[in-house]
Chains A and B, each alone.
Chain A
Amino acid sequence: DAGVTQSPTHLIKTRGQQVTLRCSPKSGHDTVSWYQQALGQGPQFIFQYYEEEERQRGNFPDRFSGHQFPNYSSELNVNALLLGDSALYLCASSLDRRTPSGANVLTFGAGSRLTVL
């Protein structure tokens, strides 16, 4: 049973360029969340996708956008790259079922390391 798969694992871009990161969720999962982790920091929530729509968004500018496809895979797009966008981008998937606790366990991928020069 494959876990969460992210691509590419590493990439280098220059300021002003655009980047697309991809994520395939764990088999059986239908919800995808994206996190940004700067060096030495904890991951920060970017947004979450469910049923091909953005359901929740963190404190990130509109340069960050995403998409979810009918097969539940997802893309994260970042436009007009800044040096400060250099980070590890983590994708996490979960199953949107209503558990007694009200929250669902996330499975994380290994991440995509973005360097902006």
Chain B
Amino acid sequence: KQEVTQIPAALSVPEGENLVLNCSFTDSAIYNLQWFRQDPGKGLTSLLLIQSSQREQTSGRLNASLDKSSGRSTLYIAASQPGDSATYLCAVTGGGNKLTFGTGTQLKVEL
């Protein structure tokens, strides 16, 4: 059974700081890995998707890496801003297009 773990559970940083969110998964037989953003009480916004054959993806200030063999991914956020405050969820896609999610990292960027 696939299990996804995210560390840390919560993080508070001052504005402008670079930060790293971690995700690990137990079964390396995945098709892809996605990072989502979720604002309080809202749905999910896909940030980055890394196919199993790729090592990283970049979008603006976000960079996500994938090491499938070790079951790890990181999301790097450069020059954090208060608008980045949200919960960040990592999810892996297994057989049947089913996503398995981690419990998320709650990020707060303070002025």
Which chain A residues have a beta carbon within 8 Å of chain B's beta carbons? 31, 33, 35, 40-45, 48, 55-56, 58, 88, 90, 92, 94, 101-111, 113
- How far does the alpha carbon of A101 sit from the alpha carbon of B32 in the complex, in Å? 8
A102 touches B102 (CB 8 A): no
Total cross-chain contacts (CB, 8 A): 64
A43-B31 contact, Cβ under 8 Å, with A58-B98, A101-B51: no
Interface string of B81-111 (1 = CB under 8 A from A): 0000000010101001111111110000000
Taking a contact as CB atoms under 8 Å apart, the answer to whether A109 and B97 are in contact is no
Q: Is B44 an interface residue (CB 8 A)?
A: yes
Which residue of the partner chain, among B53, B98, B102, contacts A33 with CB atoms under 8 Å? Answer: B98
Answer whether A113 and B41 are a contact pair too, CB < 8 Å, given A41-B103, A102-B31: yes
Q: Are B31 and A103 in contact (CB under 8 A)?
A: yes
B-side residues, CB < 8 A to A, are 4, 31-32, 36, 41-46, 49, 51-53, 89, 91, 93, 96-104
Given contacts A31-B97, A56-B98, A111-B43, contact A103 B103 (CB under 8 A): no
Q: Are B32 and A108 in contact (CB under 8 A)?
A: no
Whether B96 contacts A56 by the Cβ 8 Å rule is yes
Q: Say whether A55 contacts B96, CB under 8 Å.
A: yes
Q: Which residues of the partner chain B approach A111 to less than 8 Å between Cβ atoms?
A: 42-43
- Judging by beta carbons under 8 Å apart, are A42 and B4 in contact? yes
What residues on A are CB-neighbors of B4 within 8 Å?
42
- Within the assembled complex, what's the spacing in Å between the Cα atoms of A97 and B102? 26
A45, A105, A108: which contacts B98 (Cβ < 8 A)? A45
From A42, A48, A90, A109, B96 is in contact (CB under 8 Å) with A48
B11 to chain A, nearest CB (A): 15
